[in-house]
Amino acid sequence: MNTSVPVAILGPTGYTGLELLELLANHPRMHAAYLASARPEPIDITREFPRLCDRLDSTTPALTKPIDHDAIARACKLAFLCLPHDAAIAHTPPLLDRGVKVVDLSAAYRIKDPATYHSAYAHHHTDLNNLAHAIYGLPELNRAAIRSAMLVANPGCYPTAAALALAPFIRAGLIEPGTIVINAASGVSGAGREPKPHTTLVEAGDNFSTYALGTHRHEPEIEQTLASITPAGSGAPGVLFLPHLLPIERGILETITAVPSATAQSMDQQALTNVLSEAYRSEPFVVVRSDAPTLRDVQRTNRVHLSVKLLPAKGPRPSRLIIVAAIDNLTKGASGQALQNANLMLGLDEHLGLR
């Protein structure tokens, strides 16, 4: 008989922690054995989230417990950290020291350069040793390293879509460096569960707005990932990242433009689509399409949908490569990808709990 692996969720009452709980409720080989919260009083999960009533079996506790590293290590093989970045840095070292594998859903271990991390998050990194050894958890680009990792930095939602959309074209030298523009729009859940003035119904409903232009925390993460896959001598893949807020619950749509190389300009539509198809032929969570995806196609799934189109030069306008990517920010952009990483780290089938 297959045994079920016990795992912990630190921060189960935020959007990503709740999403993980719902995914684990359908996982045949993994279960939430410890729910840890920084709140002073225990939380009855099914009272706070009634939709979980009758969905959590006897292996998942109804009440949260304090964040106790020794207790977590006794009960669990892996911990999901659904915490702010500063709290994640505080709890990761003691968990790793006790032999607990960690999937961190915050940004604490994504950006390798401490100075860049401080600039983006206004927080000095205090765990440089683990930062150096953390594996960036994008399975489609890093699967082998994730399998043997003790600490995985789960990617951000915008960077996941951007990296998967651009990687095949950058690797093939089909995009001119420094010409990438990412127009991205996210549902309000991307801002987290804590209320903020601009994410209230009155402000966000029936509205559409830009935010954090030139200062978004995900921009250096996107640039770092693209730089890691850029062929030597090709120049830095500079990015202009333009985030927008959609008046919806969940989902991200990115329309990415770049100047195509001379080789790309000579390719027809099928050949360009084949670049994506060949790159992701064996990837279970990447769907390559001939038409542009919409958010409805990916909401509440762990899939990213991709399409590509070449706009030829017209008058003074140069040609442009247009790549469209759609994901669910809470699933493939956060908790679903975290579960995908955990499956790999624990030697389980990568698909479990995600179909």
pLDDT digits (tens, 9 = 90+) for 131-183: 999 999 999 999 999 999 999 999 999 999 999 999 999 999 999 988 999 99
DSSP-assigned letter for residue 154: P
**Could you tell me the two tokens for 243?**
């985030």
Q: Is the pLDDT of residue 11 over 50?
A: yes
CB 231 within 8 A of CB 173: yes
Interhelix angle for 139-147 vs 336-345, to 10°? 30
Share of the chain above pLDDT 70, in %: 99
Strand partners, 288: 306
Residue 32: other Cβ atoms inside 10 A: 25
Specify the residue for token string 């949908």.
305
pLDDT of residue 205: 82
Look at residue 29 and give its three-state secondary structure.
coil
pLDDT of residue 191: 78
Q: pLDDT grade, residue 236 (50/70/90)?
A: confident
Q: What is the mean pLDDT of residues 25-42?
A: 93
Report residue 257: phi and psi, to 5°.
-120, 150
pLDDT of residue 231: 83
**Could you tell me the two tokens for 239?**
């990015």
Global pTM value: 0.95
Length of the chain: 355
Cα–Cα distance measured from residue 335 to residue 15, given in angstroms and rounded to the nearest whole number = 9
Bridge-based pairing state of the strands 30-36 and 151-153: unpaired
DSSP-assigned letter for residue 27: -
CA distances from 240 to 31, 38, 43, 150, 220 (A): 41, 37, 42, 33, 11
pLDDT of residue 197: 76
pLDDT of residue 235: 74
Cα–Cα distance measured from residue 327 to residue 303, given in angstroms and rounded to the nearest whole number = 6
DSSP-assigned letter for residue 232: T
Look at residue 7 and give its three-state secondary structure.
strand
H/E stretch holding 240: strand 239-245
Is 82 considered catalytic here? Answer: no
Q: pLDDT grade, residue 100 (50/70/90)?
A: very high
Cα–Cα distance measured from residue 281 to residue 345, given in angstroms and rounded to the nearest whole number = 23
Domains of the chain: 5-133 (3.40.50.720), 158-329 (3.30.360.10)
pLDDT of residue 232: 79
Cα–Cα distance measured from residue 162 to residue 253, given in angstroms and rounded to the nearest whole number = 10
pLDDT of residue 61: 84
Residue-wise pLDDT for 271-289, tens only, equals 999 999 999 999 999 999 9
Cα–Cα distance measured from residue 23 to residue 335, given in angstroms and rounded to the nearest whole number = 8
Phi-psi category of 222—alpha, beta or left, where left has phi over 0 and alpha has psi -120 to 50? alpha
Which candidate in 53, 76, 82, 157 is catalytic?
157
Nearest to 80 by CA among 19, 171, 162, 3: 19
Sorted by sequence, the CB contacts under 8 Å of residue 321 that are 6+ apart come out as 169, 174, 175, 257, 258, 259, 260, 264, 272, 308, 309, 310, 311
Cα–Cα distance measured from residue 30 to residue 49, given in angstroms and rounded to the nearest whole number = 21
Share of the chain above pLDDT 90, in %: 80
Look at residue 251 and give its three-state secondary structure.
coil
Which of 21-25, 39-43, 317-321 is predicted least confidently?
39-43
Cα–Cα distance measured from residue 193 to residue 249, given in angstroms and rounded to the nearest whole number = 11
Q: pLDDT grade, residue 2 (50/70/90)?
A: low
CB 333 within 8 A of CB 327: yes
Q: Is the pLDDT of residue 1 over 50?
A: no
CB 237 within 8 A of CB 180: yes
Q: What is the mean pLDDT of residues 343-350?
A: 97
Q: pLDDT grade, residue 206 (50/70/90)?
A: confident
